[in-house]
A and B are shown apart, each in its own frame.
Chain A
Amino acid sequence: MSTKVIHVLYNDDDVLMDAVKATRAAHHHIEEVFTPFPVHGLDKAMGLKPTRLAICAFIYGLCGLSFATYMMNYIMIQDWPQDIGGKPSFSYIQNMPSFVPIMFELTVFFAAHLMVITFFLRSRLWPFKKAENPDVRTTDDHFLMEVALHGNEEEAVEFFKNTGAVEVKVIDKH
């Protein structure tokens, strides 16, 4: 069985914002919005949950810090505590200032890279991925709102035409 969706196209982000608010108020379910650039406040208007990527990054940073501490404690203090230029390798804390640059960099490295990878995984982005663009114009100067169609088709189309749309299409989605 095929489901039907409505593709509504706009050519202005302000119109889009108003349309999104009106659509939500009329209890149509917005499946997706495609825009050529970030529209400020769109996520709030759509009622999307805030991202937890920052929390991930914080945890990854702690992992990096632990890794750096463990690594240097093992190498410099436990495994071969050599006297290098009079540095006190008796315990980690005694020689800690010289490890701080590495601890800092690894914290940043882990936080940044793992967060980016998390972002790619969560948003399903990778090389050779097939683009999911419903209309080529949405990467240039058009905004597209995809709404699930339940009930009366004519009524829905009429509703979206009144939201300032430049084009309303009913699409069969397989």
Chain B
Amino acid sequence: MYTFSGKLKTFSIILMVLGIVGIAYGFLTAPKTVEQVEVILSEQHHGGHGSHDAHAAPAHGEATAHATPAHGEADAAHKEHQKHLEHVLHQLQNKPWAAVYIGCIFSMLVALGVFTFNQIQYAASAGWSPVLFRVMEGLSAYLLPGSILFFLLLVASSSHLNHLFVWMADGVTEPGHANYDAIIAGKSAYLNIPSFLIRAVVFLAGWNIFRMLSRKNSLALDETGDLTYYKRNFKLAATYLVFFIVTESIMSWDWIMSIDAHWYSTLFGWYVFASFFVTAITVIALSTLYLKNKGVLEFVNTSHIHDLAKFMFGLSIFWTYLWFSQFMLMWYSNIPEEVTYFIFRIEEYNLPFFGMLVLNFVLPILLLVNTDFKRLSWIIVMAGTCIIVGHYLDFFNMIMPGTVGASWFIGAAEIGSVFFFGGLFIFVGFSAIAKAPLLAKNNPMIEESKHFHY
């Protein structure tokens, strides 16, 4: 039995408090009027800030190009300038929302990934992992609070508190309206707020119900030793995996891809899956190492750690494979309607876009390729940190460009959101781990798992 140590509890609470402060600061300092944006932009112009200059320049250039001598250059330029200010205003107002959104969806999906990994182990009747089931069950407990927070964010977007989803704006589907967008209007049978929210409820509720039942069966198996609970969990896992793969794919279109409503990619669902799944396994590995270090996981040996590290290694490559397949196909064919997605990211998000490739591919492959290294805690912690930071950046790259465009930077709101959701994840996850004995007692595979040796 593990008791949630006071130190870790305090640490997670401090993270949450710092996070809330950061997020609140982000919201309070977001500009409210066009005039404030003008002040911010002029300050940045004087300061010679790179990204804004770069962004502002084409807009101004366009303004002069459009101005015809008949109308007067100054008048048109002024109009364009106002339009640009409004554009930047929306981006800056979106920024704290997007920061919270990224932290929230990322941590929620990591919990989902942990649960999915757990279910795969059940469905595959894996012999090595049952000693880790309680760690996975505990960490995936974050799924419930995470889903609730995330659903509240979706409701906030749907009630026009922010502009994260461009297709939710007023009049986008009404011909003749100033906001009318024929492409989005054509997708409105799928992208409309009621069905969007209904899908979210079905997916989130479905995942949570599966998790609840699986956890209940697992605890009942502990109590009674009745193998019907194990069989029930096996069938549950198989059903869940079918449900998961369908909902996961649709989820990625709804919650991530629809932010760039003009763009689509067919392997996007897999890509998102690979991203949070590898992070989830890394989180399992790091938590296992932490608990092992505390001396509460006596049956976990270096072979279990080695297996987790192999998953981290293999899935990092799997993620890279999908990232590259998506990128290279669009880069190669260079069709304007789809390649803008990457052009914008390469131009405005160069460092995060390519930096995450180093963090998610190059460093893990070099650190984890060696068999002996996969048994060393500090190597796994190092590679794991790279993977977690890298995949946070991956979500950052997926969501930020469509919501704040070139006005991005990693500031108080972004770091605050990572702190808040990280702290909450630790708090909920480790509280849940403390609620049940760390060794699942009557699992038929548990003896094999205890003596697992690779």
Contacts and interface: CB of A to CB of B under 8 A. Distances in A.
Contacts of A100: 324, 328
Interface of A: 54, 58, 86, 97-98, 100
A72 B111 CA distance: 44
Given A97-B327, A100-B324, A100-B328, A86 B369 contact: no
A98 B369 contact: no
B330 to A, nearest CB: 10
Nearest to B328: A97
Interface of B: 324, 327-328, 331-332, 334, 369, 371
A58 B369 CA distance: 9
Top 3 A-B residue pairs of the complex, sorted by shortest distance between their CB atoms = A97-B328, A97-B331, A98-B332
Contact of B328 (A54, A58, A86, A98): A98
Contacts of A58: 369
A55 B371 CA distance: 11
A5 to B, nearest CB: 34
B306 to A, nearest CB: 15
B353 to A, nearest CB: 13
A97 B331 CA distance: 8
Contacts of B334: 86
A92 to B, nearest CB: 15
A98 B328 CA distance: 7
Contacts of B327: 97
Contacts of A97: 324, 327-328, 331-332
Q: Which of A54, A86, A97 has the most CB of B within 10 A?
A: A97
Given A97-B332, A100-B324, 10 more contacts: A54-B371, A58-B369, A86-B334, A97-B324, A97-B327, A97-B328, A97-B331, A98-B328, A98-B332, A100-B328
A110 to B, nearest CB: 16
A86 B339 CA distance: 15
Nearest to B327: A97
A24 to B, nearest CB: 21
Contacts of A54: 371
A54 B324 CA distance: 26
Contacts of B328: 97-98, 100
A39 to B, nearest CB: 15
A108 to B, nearest CB: 12
A95 to B, nearest CB: 10
A100 B369 CA distance: 20
B128 to A, nearest CB: 16
A86 B334 CA distance: 10
Contacts of A98: 328, 332
A55 B439 CA distance: 37
B151 to A, nearest CB: 38
Contacts of A86: 334
B119 to A, nearest CB: 30
B345 to A, nearest CB: 14
A97 B328 CA distance: 6
A98 to B, nearest CB: 6
Nearest to A61: B369
B403 to A, nearest CB: 27
Contacts of B331: 97
A54 B374 CA distance: 15
Nearest to A87: B332
12 contacts: A54-B371, A58-B369, A86-B334, A97-B324, A97-B327, A97-B328, A97-B331, A97-B332, A98-B328, A98-B332, A100-B324, A100-B328
A154 to B, nearest CB: 40
